[in-house]
Chain A
């Protein structure tokens, strides 16, 4: 919905596009090169196209209707203009990918993909197209040539459901699974030499009930936004671009953040009713991020410097039994009070926990860095409810997402500790698992997701 009263409306591909800043409202999003009037004229003035459509005049009618529709859609922009800063855009380009240390949004659509092409060139083309689409969508613009105003005979490039919505702090974050580098012993894309040592096959932890069809994947995309429709729009459009090259293996919607990277805000609660992520790494704590989240030059491989590793676990909660558990037992299980969230033996939520004051099997105690050789991870999970199962029980829980510098010193020791002894295990079950290497940020418009990885393997691939 172009608003013609906005003279500085960004031009797709123009130099200003990178700076589409925090206050760029989505109302500007299509930013077509043409004015509405020009588009209408163009749509109506293509006799060669129209003449193909039919013999009875239906073609003419269609052309006219399409032109009118485009005009109406484009003309509607002024009514939806909104310059409020809420729902702003998060910059896509930078040293690190957005969606990790940036403030956690309210909604999630996470998808894992299988790469279906065997052609390295096609995979590179896909990553370039995805990068461009993600850059556009995070800035609040539609993908490709937009959702309206194109050829009436062609399906629009953009699916359109985000028209008129704000950027909603959308972030789109990509990760590469181990199977992208080597699958069943096969080096499909010439990437095997660059397989990061830390991109391990996660061990089976006690109690795991993983569904293989809902685990793993060659690629993952995490789309977070404050508006669920914006997050779904992002995955849907990337999936569509991917057809023939990548197919969705599984995906997960999350409706409420369970951890934040902004400690100044109220700590969100998980579906068990407890505050979650009180001690999470703050997005502004650069030393902690360097130490625990970002892969350094020395860690290797070089292409991953500035990146991270993400672990995902779909953790189903046994909601109904939990709800029948006494308050005392619930608090013993976590090691914190339910109301304030104070650690046992302390008064306030953010007081330093005294692990010895908690039961030896309390969740907070077992997960604490002090119990795991200092292992610290950045949590970014979401609550989910996928309706109910056939028994009438809520299919709900936590879609756990954690970023770390090395999973072997991050998630793995913590989960070993939890899986062995956590009394919470009686009320949860891990049903899906993923581990992905998250490349560094896309630096500028010439850069693309995975560029350094593919450049590092150019010689091997030939």
Chain B
């Protein structure tokens, strides 16, 4: 994770930055507009019931689009407009039985899906629709769209599972329970570490929750996990400021949880994100800089590798066809690095790893060699996806 602001700036040529750029471009054209230029007659009627999701037009011109939703079912529903890879273009929750709702969005030419979710859960009942117009992107390999959708689900699940673990941590901080907070610290970070490139693509959340002291700009307030890490391990006490910051951490991470669905994730972005996770390991964890007070670096290390492996596994069907030799190499190197990490925990099902200050120079060199061995072929994944 970004130790300082500088490394993040340097990364502008890489995947997360690419995703960020694309996301920035999209903010202008997504979301609910306050004033609607669309005439009522142009609206696409979406009739939701407990078993169906009917749309009045499967093709409509790109631009300002209005969905006129009517819930004829017995359950409360929600309606989503998804871009490929299940990126949420716009959504409306809590549409009660017998009620209507208008949803508007600026939509670019391309393929989309409208989903009604009776009972407000699951993937919903889907209808494929097309926004017509010049400049529609070429259709992607559907296997890649599926990979992105699966990865988004994974990222969302990581955020969903992280919040309760964060609350265990922050509740202990709020109670002034140093030992309890120390125990809950590393587990609270695993989901974040697994999917960090997604969180980083939002730009604003990462510096609030995961900045290290050396990354602070002049006058910037230090918040987030590492501030609390220092208070716990270095100072050994929890003050009023820390208790307040614990609340802020939950709030900021809840923001992350809400925004995962809208993150602009692409297949190459996933591949580059996997490579970036290994970069994180190489620059922050192997060196012991990331968790310099708690020495829980190997927990982050493992989570980074798991997140990278998830992206890779989801892209593998496509990569196997495009570059079978790369798949063989990556399989071998993931196995090797995971095997190396297993040496530092008693139980392979647990995230109790050896404290990194107990890992000697020769062992750190071995870990570093393992990271290089995996990161080098992983840097070729994006091209193999794009072939």
Among listed B32-40, B48-56, B261-269, B288-296, interface-contacting one? B261-269
What's the Cα separation between A48 and B385 when bound, in Å?
Answer: 11
**Which residue from A47, A62, A247 sits with its C-beta under 8 Å from B138?**
A47
B239 within 8 A of A: no
> Of residues B144, B267, B269, B373, which shows the largest number of chain A Cβ atoms within 10 Å of its Cβ?
B373
Q: What residue in chain A is nearest B17 (Cβ atoms)? A: A58
A244-B138 contact, Cβ under 8 Å, with A52-B144, A58-B25: no
B140 within 8 A of A: yes
What's the Cα separation between A62 and B362 when bound, in Å?
Answer: 41
**Which residue from B138, B144, B365, B376 sits with its C-beta under 8 Å from A243?**
B376
A57 and B25 form a contact (CB under 8 A): yes
A58 and B22 form a contact (CB under 8 A): yes
- Chain A interface main SS type: loop
A416 within 8 A of B: no
Among listed A131-139, A151-159, A284-292, A351-359, interface-contacting one? A151-159
B329 and A49 form a contact (CB under 8 A): no
Task: List residues of chain A with CB within 8 A of the CB of B284.
Answer: none
A54 and B379 form a contact (CB under 8 A): no
A49 and B387 form a contact (CB under 8 A): yes
A51-B18 contact, Cβ under 8 Å, with A56-B25, A151-B383, A244-B373: no
Q: What residue in chain A is nearest B85 (Cβ atoms)? A: A55
A151 and B386 form a contact (CB under 8 A): yes
B18 and A244 form a contact (CB under 8 A): no
A116 and B369 form a contact (CB under 8 A): yes
Chain B, residues 347-387, CB within 8 Å of chain A (1/0): the string is: 00000000000000110010001001111110110110111
Task: List residues of chain B with CB within 8 A of the CB of A54.
Answer: 18-19, 21-22, 264, 266, 269
Task: List residues of chain A with CB within 8 A of the CB of B264.
Answer: 54-56
A53 and B373 form a contact (CB under 8 A): no
B333 and A244 form a contact (CB under 8 A): yes
A213-B362 contact, Cβ under 8 Å, with A52-B386, A55-B83, A55-B264: yes
What's the Cα separation between A57 and B365 when bound, in Å?
Answer: 42
Q: How far is the CB of A226 from chain B (nearest CB, A)?
A: 30
Total contacting residues, chain A, CB less than 8 A: 27
What's the Cα separation between A212 and B57 when bound, in Å?
Answer: 74
Q: Which of A29-64 contact B (CB under 8 A)?
A: 47-59, 61-62
**Which residue from B87, B138, B268 sits with its C-beta under 8 Å from A153?**
B268
A51-B369 contact, Cβ under 8 Å, with A58-B18, A151-B386, A244-B376: no
B369 and A62 form a contact (CB under 8 A): no
What's the Cα separation between A136 and B362 when bound, in Å?
Answer: 34
A53-B377 contact, Cβ under 8 Å, with A47-B138, A58-B21, A151-B383: no
B18 and A53 form a contact (CB under 8 A): yes
A188 within 8 A of B: no
> Of residues A48, A50, A55, which shows the largest number of chain B Cβ atoms within 10 Å of its Cβ?
A55
Q: Which of B149-178 contact A (CB under 8 A)?
A: none
A53 and B268 form a contact (CB under 8 A): yes
What's the Cα separation between A339 and B21 when bound, in Å?
Answer: 65
B22 and A240 form a contact (CB under 8 A): no
Q: How far is the CB of A204 from chain B (nearest CB, A)?
A: 21
A52 and B140 form a contact (CB under 8 A): yes
What's the Cα separation between A265 and B87 when bound, in Å?
Answer: 70
Task: List residues of chain B with CB within 8 A of the CB of A114.
Answer: 369
Q: How far is the CB of A453 from chain B (nearest CB, A)?
A: 24
B302 within 8 A of A: no
A56-B138 contact, Cβ under 8 Å, with A243-B372, A247-B372: no
**Which residue from A62, A153, A213 sits with its C-beta under 8 Å from B383?**
A153
What's the Cα separation between A454 and B19 when bound, in Å?
Answer: 48
Q: Which of B1-44 contact A (CB under 8 A)?
A: 18-19, 21-23, 25-26, 29
Sort A-B residue pairs by CB-CB distance and give the 10 closest, nearest first.
A154-B383, A56-B25, A244-B373, A51-B138, A243-B376, A54-B22, A247-B369, A58-B22, A56-B22, A49-B386
Q: A51-B139, A59-B266, A247-B373 are in contact. List 7 more A-B contacts (CB 8 A).
A: A54-B266, A55-B84, A55-B137, A58-B21, A153-B383, A155-B380, A244-B329
20 contacts between A and B (CB under 8 A): A47-B138, A51-B139, A52-B268, A53-B266, A53-B386, A54-B266, A55-B108, A55-B110, A56-B26, A56-B29, A58-B18, A58-B25, A153-B268, A153-B383, A153-B385, A155-B380, A243-B373, A247-B365, A247-B369, A247-B373
